[in-house]
Amino acid sequence: MNSSIFLTQIYLRHMSELRAFLSKRVGCREIAAELTQETFIRIMHYQTGETLQNARAMLYRIAGNLAIDYHRLQIRQPAHRAIDELPLHDLPVSDALNPERIVYARQILKQLCTIIEGLPPQCHRAFILHKFDGLSHDEIASQLGITRNAVEKLLIRALVRLRQILA
């Protein structure tokens, strides 16, 4: 079975219950929606052409771990701060000045932009509104005149396409 079709079937079958599970765990629907998407992104990495034996169990394990990570992060960093507000010793270490890294990052960025621009119009709008404008699934649904589930399907379609570059 095509891995894209397999992932879509898993997504459609388990997305709502997984989102409800995460919503109870983190106490916020929007965070739960983000963690649900992250769960499906991570399960894509477990797939190597073969189907997972128990995809539902794997989804719940990944989602549970993401919820725990979220809570740990909230304990360590309760408030978000801008990077220029961090003390010098807390700044992330980066090799961003490495010329090879810069060229590679630009190539990946160009490929990602090409894929995003090549998305079907409705899928493209939903992805841009969510990832770049920061709109919630409900806000996107309202703005595009579609259901919340349709928004989620559009976003997962975009993420599957983007996976081609990151895989």
Taken in order of first residue, the domains within the chain and their CATH numbers are 1-86 (1.10.1740), 93-167 (1.10.10.10)
Region 116-139: mean pLDDT is 91
Region 102-126: mean pLDDT is 88
Give pLDDT, residue 49. Answer: 45
CA-CA-CA-CA dihedral for 81, 84, 86, 91, to nearest 10: 120
How does pLDDT run across 47-79, given as a tens digit for each residue?
554 556 688 888 899 999 999 998 888 777 655
The chain-wide mean pLDDT, for the chain, equals 81
Beta carbons of 64 and 25 less than 8 angstroms apart? yes
Verdict on whether the full-model pTM lies above 0.75: no
Residue 94, pLDDT > 70, answer: no
> Model confidence at 91, in pLDDT bands (50, 70, 90)?
low
Cα separation, 148 vs 27, in Å, equals 19
Distance of CA 142 to the CA centre of its chain: 21
Residue 90, pLDDT > 60, answer: no
Beta carbons of 152 and 15 less than 8 angstroms apart? yes
Cα separation, 48 vs 30, in Å, equals 30
Give pLDDT, residue 161. Answer: 86
Give pLDDT, residue 82. Answer: 62
> Model confidence at 124, in pLDDT bands (50, 70, 90)?
very high
